[in-house]
Amino acid sequence: MTVSDLPAINASLNATAGVLLIAGIAAIKAERKKAHGMLMGAAFVVSCIFLICYVAHKILVHGVHTPFPGTGAWRGIYYTMLITHIILAIAVPPLAIITMRHALAARFEQHRRWAKVTFPIWLYVSVTGVLVYFFLYRWF
């Protein structure tokens, strides 16, 4: 593995987290509480691994920003997506921790309230993380 492999690994981790989040929601809607807890815990672990790999990549490339080569409307679409992705990605770790702490403490009403905010933001960050990768490394 080389430093140039890390963006693809990061995108894979984001995609995996997204799939686990969706599976976790499906599990709770089917009233499979134990499966829900396991899937959401796995999504959290995968997201933590992503964060470690992301920071490692930034350290190894000395924080170099990868410029977007697209032009025209694609440039506006990409940077709008990137900015919202970054801002919301900052919010995910504390939101996820608060939401999980409520579940682990059996405060399920508070857990549900927090999850209604946390889930869509976390899923958006996971999906747009994959899209950022494709915009930067595959499509343009």
Which ranges of the chain would DSSP assign to H, the alpha helix?
A: 6-29, 33-60, 73-104, 108-133
**Segment 70-113, tens digit of pLDDT:** 999 999 999 999 999 999 999 999 999 999 999 999 999 999 99
Domain boundaries, the chain: 3-139
User: What are 100's two structure tokens?
Assistant: 């999980």
pTM > 0.75: yes or no: yes
